Amino acid sequence: MAKNILITGGAGFIGSHVVRRFVKGYAGYNIYNLDVLTYAGNLENLKDVEGYSNYTFIKGDIVDVDFVQSLFAKYDFDGVIHLAAESHVDRSISDPLAFVRTNIIGTVNLLNSARDAWKGAYSKKRFYHISTDEVYGTLGSKGLFTERTAYDPNSPYSASKASSDHFVRAYGETYGLPYVISNCSNNYGPNHFPEKLIPLFINNIINNIPLPVYGDGKYTRDWLFVEDHAVAIDLIFHKGKGQETYNIGGFNEWQNIDLVKLLCKLMDQKLGRAKGTSERLISFVKDRPGHDLRYAIDASKINKELGWEPSVTFEEGLEYTIDWYLTNGAWLEHVTSGEYREYYKKMYAE
């Protein structure tokens, strides 16, 4: 019997890589991609899987109670991989309620439907919640986030994700719902919406627009290539221990300013521009409020238990990503027209 898997947020950045991996890699699964298509959701990300007979796109909102219940009744899902979310920290600062709505209420709505539809069949089901390392708050110059680090979120985004993680765990404790959670570090790669650091700066360099580095640029993130995250999600979904959490990271810490300088160097080479051209676009701007100093993940649990590790170095992944953006100008043009221009004006106005 084919397995029916619901993937939420599959038209977004990470979701599209997960959908592609599951549709192409598991012919025996029916993959249902539920996405409401916000500004961040884009079916162009999935053009290559559209025609697969084991793939179905469903446009809809995870917050809609009747709709989500009807989906569980109709498709008898064996598993859920839940990625749908509002995902950008800066947007969460200007509109926290949108994050409460989707990330918390949407997750609880999915949990309710899974709990009710799966009653009596829990042993064959799995609810996999995709989360972020940002729930752990910020590190000083030393230390790593482990699965036992206490939650200490600082932005409305991370607070909403932390809340959703707690609800998933609570449904496991209270109702016995079979779940697994993973908390991953910053992803980068193809199809990344150009509001996050790496794709925003690639787009700005292409267009000779200033590169707005927040504060002194000394903030540190741990970067992971998105396809390596998709591999980790595949492994955890199939082999991860139930009622547990896995941290996923790139073993790859960079201060923003060093990352931006590397990006500038690679972009000058790719665009045939004189050395130092892109670096001259760097502009230090007002800091993000509540800006977390440093994220770094201890990914030894997934490494030891499931044998996972990143497959590419940062330089390889970054070069691949830059090449993708340079050869997918139409994608970039489509996502940066319309609403994006308004967002950019509001966000980066003096």
| Binders in 282-321 for ligand TYD, by CB under 6 A | 288
Q: Pick one of ligand TYD, ligand NAD, none as the site partner of residue 13 (Cβ within 5 to 8 A by kind).
A: ligand NAD
Check binding of 197 to ligand TYD (CB under 6 A).
Answer: yes
CB of 185 to ligand TYD, least distance (A): 9
Residue whose CB is less far from ligand TYD, 10 or 153? 153
Q: Pick one of ligand NAD, ligand TYD, none as the site partner of residue 14 (Cβ within 5 to 8 A by kind).
A: ligand NAD
Q: Which of 60, 160, 170, 185 is nearest to 103 (CA)?
A: 160
| Binders in 94-153 for ligand NAD, by CB under 6 A | 102, 106, 130-132
Angle at 206 between CA 201 and CA 211, to 5 degrees: 35
Residue 34 in contact with residue 10, Cβ under 8 Å?
yes
Q: For ligand TYD, which residue of 186, 187, 245, 247 counts as binding (CB under 6 A)?
A: 186
Q: Which residues contact 13 (CB under 8 A, 6 or more apart)?
A: 40, 45, 87, 187, 189, 191, 192, 193, 226
Q: Name the one range near ligand NAD by CB under 6 A: 66-74, 182-190, 285-293, 304-312.
A: 182-190
Query: Catalytic residue among 86, 134, 222, 292, which?
Result: 134
- Determine the 3-state secondary structure of 54 from DSSP: coil
Give, as one character, the DSSP assignment of residue 78: S
Q: Which residue is nearest to ligand NAD (CB)?
A: 12
Q: How far apart are CA 135 and CA 299, in angstroms?
A: 16
- Determine the 3-state secondary structure of 127 from DSSP: strand
Check binding of 18 to ligand NAD (CB under 6 A).
Answer: no
Q: Is 157 a catalytic residue?
A: yes
Q: Which residues contact 306 (CB under 8 A, 6 or more apart)?
A: 232, 235, 236, 239, 240, 246
Check binding of 159 to ligand TYD (CB under 6 A).
Answer: no
Residue whose CB is less far from ligand NAD, 61 or 228? 61
Check binding of 200 to ligand TYD (CB under 6 A).
Answer: yes
Q: How far apart are CA 51 and CA 24, in angstroms?
A: 11
Q: Is 134 a catalytic residue?
A: yes
Contact string (CB under 6 A) for ligand TYD, positions 237-276, x = contact: -------------------x--------------------
- From the number of C-beta atoms within 10 Å of its C-beta (0-12, 13-18, 19+), residue 74 rates as exposed
Q: Which residues contact 273 (CB under 8 A, 6 or more apart)?
A: 267
**Contact footprint for ligand NAD (CB under 6 A):** 8-9, 11-15, 35-38, 40-41, 61-63, 83-85, 87, 102, 106, 130-132, 161, 184, 186-187, 193
